[in-house]
Structure 1
Amino acid sequence: MKVAANTVRIRQINTELIRSVLRQSDYGTKKSIARTTGLSIATCGNILKELLESGEVLEMDLADSTGGRPSRRFVYNQDYAHLLLMYLRQEGTEKIIYSSVINMGGKVLHEERSCFTEISLAGVNYLIDTFCSSFPRLKVIGIGVPAVVNKGIIGLCDFDFLIGFPFAEYLRKRTGREIVIENDVNCTAIGYFRADTDQNTESLAYIYYPKEGNPGAGIVVNGSILQGNSNFAGEVSYLPLGVPADLQRKIQGDKGRFSYYVAKTVLSVNAIINPGTIVLSGYSFTPEIRELVLQRVTEEAPAGHVPGLIFQEDIHDSYVEGLKFLALKKMSCEFELVRK
């Protein structure tokens, strides 16, 4: 049984190698795919046959002949599957649901952002049902929530109706689709990390201060989200810094207290994780508060250990990028290929 399981796993890896090559190329031939992946031409041919039958790969016109038999050319079908990305968010009194449908190449097919006085499970179900009906090729639903998410069950959360709810399993049974549910700042952190092609760091901490809300952090180490033992990693509002959780929501308008509290949070994260970059995000970071935070951190961090601070006003772009990465990963047998 173990040998059979290993054989299946190896085939999954080989299939993912071929997918990866085709998705990053305009097209491929058996020979070029074999050369790039290191697989045999026979193995590539067998896997390509399966991908053609499923519709995940399409065949193009034959390549121009150079004297021999013209090569068959294959292209990845970016519309083989569609993915729904959705997040639930609260900024002050504003409650937001953002949704977009993308194809496997990341092309946005539909996008909408709605504001509500209240968000309910019935409202979320209605939106998801609408997308499932409109996009029959929808295979994965990726949802970001302002919550601790442990094995698909929602813990601490800004939306009371989700607390203690096995959200992932509920949606999986209800829709028949694969489901990814992740903490909002974890999504944002991995999205920022993957989109920031200029950085040379293997780690970062992304700390988000929602308007009139408690902060949270997403931590990326060696290219992966640091979850912690119970997925509690990054809940920086629980740092023992002398500011109770209910008060943290009220001090954002006090530039002196807020900048002091943010600086202490940054210094704490730096001392424990020492990431290459710390990103601070939120609408409360005025130019003056940014300067105060930078000054306090620079003064209090030991020489040679001052963290690199970056400010990003809104989490949206990084958030969606993170959801896209996690949803696409769900389509890739739950592993990521890393080239060295």
Structure 2
Amino acid sequence: MTQNQNLIRQQNLNRLETFMFEKGTAIKAEMAKETGLSVVTINALVKQLVEANILLEGEAVQQPLGRPALNYAFNYDLQHDLLLSIQEEKTADDRKLILFGQIVNLKGTVKYEAKRPFNQVDLNELLTHVQHFLKQVENLAQIGLSLPGKIYQGVVVSSWGDLFDGWNIEAALATLTDIPVRIQNDAHLMTIGYSRLHHLSLDNTVVGIFYPENSMPGISIFSQGTLVEGRHNLAGEAKYLPHLIDAQPPADEQAMTESVLEILAIYNAVIAPGAFVVRAGPLSRLPIENSLLPNQINIPAIYFVEDFQASVTMGLRWLVMQESPWKMIL
């Protein structure tokens, strides 16, 4: 088979895999109709995908005319990923960290989940928690970790309360397992996850603002389906903005509103995004009419993240599927 024929076959295979990933189940006639491929090509590709365990043979389905046809199902359990999120959990009188973990299949179906207290913030405790999850499923393919911090060349350089600064998490996890590990900032993952969940256009630039109560904000820039980061991966550290670098976290909702509006005005002037994705303490809306935004040329859409965990989880799925043929389907 020539190189050109190989390329065409791989393109056809990717087209069929993508269709089945989205559809879930189909008979060969449906596959041919929806992909535009010939029945002969579909027969060959289905045989290859069944042998690779990507498609599973189901029961025969009686057709209106002719003989019954086999139904095929995409095997979402072909791969399981461990999605971990270190995040703050606020109680009435305290701030503490937890590690929330889920093991999901390719469809995102949760096979196992647990929330574990992260009381002693050190690498050994993190490894203990990860070991717990590694014992739950045998065929884990990848680990994704959401971190309240930024990583440069494997080392955390800026983090929640500076507690993780200097950590080389990937190297530490390598002492436990050879499963590939991907680590990313929580503001980035929230922004990407929300954008994917709500089908925001990849042609636009989206700026995310994650501003936890009693803490300082992180910023994410997601453009053309790609994260935009600066030197040392520090683009988005809003705590270094002039009005925040020497400031304390907002004391009340009014102070947080004013701070968020100032951040919006700065990034709207500099980036001119199509949309902002905002998670800021208890805020669910902003009095835009009292801000600088109406005086600026760019008029962005502003979305508020109601379900932080759902957005981070989707962001983590995007993260671990970057090398997957199905990454753009999420």
| Same-fold call, TM cutoff 0.5 | yes
Amino acid of the residue matched to residue 259 of structure 2? Y
Given that residues 155 and 169 in structure 2 are in contact (C-alpha distance below 8 angstroms), is that contact kept between their aligned partners in structure 1? yes
Q: Can you list the C-alpha shifts for 1:99-148, whole angstroms capped at 9, x where unaligned?
A: 11112221122222233322322222222222222211221211111122
Of 290, 296, 308, the residue aligned with 2:301 is 308
Aligned to 2:127: 125
Correspondence list, 1:147-158, <5 A: 147-150=149-152, 152-158=154-160
Identity of aligned residues (%): 25
Q: 1:167 and 1:44, CA in 2 relative to 1: closer, same or farther beyond 3 A?
A: farther
Amino acid of the residue matched to residue 303 of structure 2? I
Q: 1:201 and 1:58, CA in 2 relative to 1: closer, same or farther beyond 3 A?
A: same
Given that residues 190 and 308 in structure 2 are in contact (C-alpha distance below 8 angstroms), is that contact kept between their aligned partners in structure 1? yes
CA distance in structure 1 between the aligned counterparts of 2:233 and 2:8, rounded to whole angstroms: 30
Q: 1:176 and 1:234, CA in 2 relative to 1: closer, same or farther beyond 3 A?
A: same
Aligned to 1:277: 275
- Post-superposition shift, 1:57? 1.5
Of 309, 322, 326, the residue aligned with 2:319 is 326
Q: 1:271 and 1:99, CA in 2 relative to 1: closer, same or farther beyond 3 A?
A: same
Between structures 1 and 2, the one with greater strand share: 2
Where 2:48 maps in the other structure, the secondary structure is helix
Of 329, 333, 336, the residue aligned with 2:328 is 336
Of 13, 18, 39, the residue aligned with 2:16 is 18
Amino acid of the residue matched to residue 233 of structure 1? A
CA distance in structure 2 between the aligned counterparts of 1:31 and 1:228, rounded to whole angstroms: 49
Given that residues 76 and 107 in structure 2 are in contact (C-alpha distance below 8 angstroms), is that contact kept between their aligned partners in structure 1? yes
Aligned to 1:29: 27
Aligned to 1:243: 244
Q: 1:78 and 1:236, CA in 2 relative to 1: closer, same or farther beyond 3 A?
A: same
Given that residues 82 and 103 in structure 1 are in contact (C-alpha distance below 8 angstroms), is that contact kept between their aligned partners in structure 2? yes
Q: How many residues align?
A: 325
Correspondence list, 1:289-300, <5 A: 290-291=286-287, 294-297=288-291, 299=292
CA distance in structure 1 between the aligned counterparts of 2:54 and 2:85, rounded to whole angstroms: 28
Of 66, 69, 72, the residue aligned with 2:70 is 72
CA distance in structure 2 between the aligned counterparts of 1:224 and 1:64, rounded to whole angstroms: 45
Given that residues 201 and 276 in structure 1 are in contact (C-alpha distance below 8 angstroms), is that contact kept between their aligned partners in structure 2? no
CA distance in structure 1 between the aligned counterparts of 2:308 and 2:31, rounded to whole angstroms: 38
Aligned to 2:170: 168
Q: Can you list the C-alpha shifts for 1:55-85, whole angstroms capped at 9, x where unaligned?
A: 2321012232566554333111222222211
Where 2:23 maps in the other structure, the secondary structure is coil
CA distance in structure 1 between the aligned counterparts of 2:218 and 2:321, rounded to whole angstroms: 25
Given that residues 22 and 329 in structure 2 are in contact (C-alpha distance below 8 angstroms), is that contact kept between their aligned partners in structure 1? no
- Post-superposition shift, 1:204? 2.1
Q: Can you list the C-alpha shifts for 1:255-309, whole angstroms capped at 9, x where unaligned?
A: 565443322211111011112222331325387xx44xx3442x45425534433
Q: Can you list the C-alpha shifts for 1:141-161, whole angstroms capped at 9, x where unaligned?
A: 111111223465433223767
Q: 1:160 and 1:243, CA in 2 relative to 1: closer, same or farther beyond 3 A?
A: closer
What is the TM-score normalised by the length of structure 2?
A: 0.82
Where 1:163 maps in the other structure, the secondary structure is coil
Q: Which runs of 5+ in 2 are unaligned?
A: none
Where 1:156 maps in the other structure, the secondary structure is strand
Aligned to 1:231: 233
- Post-superposition shift, 1:227? 3.2
CA distance in structure 2 between the aligned counterparts of 1:30 and 1:150, rounded to whole angstroms: 48
- Post-superposition shift, 1:207? 0.4
User: Is 53-62 or 182-191 further displaced after alignment?
Assistant: 53-62
- Post-superposition shift, 1:234? 2.1
CA distance in structure 2 between the aligned counterparts of 1:58 and 1:192, rounded to whole angstroms: 32
Q: Which runs of 5+ in 1 are unaligned?
A: none
Q: 1:70 and 1:164, CA in 2 relative to 1: closer, same or farther beyond 3 A?
A: same
Q: 1:276 and 1:296, CA in 2 relative to 1: closer, same or farther beyond 3 A?
A: same
Q: Can you list the C-alpha shifts for 1:186-233, whole angstroms capped at 9, x where unaligned?
A: 100011111124889833222011232221012222343333454333
CA distance in structure 2 between the aligned counterparts of 1:138 and 1:147, rounded to whole angstroms: 25
Aligned to 1:107: 109
Given that residues 191 and 323 in structure 1 are in contact (C-alpha distance below 8 angstroms), is that contact kept between their aligned partners in structure 2? yes
Given that residues 80 and 141 in structure 2 are in contact (C-alpha distance below 8 angstroms), is that contact kept between their aligned partners in structure 1? yes
CA distance in structure 2 between the aligned counterparts of 1:163 and 1:8, rounded to whole angstroms: 48
What is the TM-score normalised by the length of structure 1?
A: 0.80
CA distance in structure 1 between the aligned counterparts of 2:201 and 2:173, rounded to whole angstroms: 36
- Post-superposition shift, 1:184? 0.5
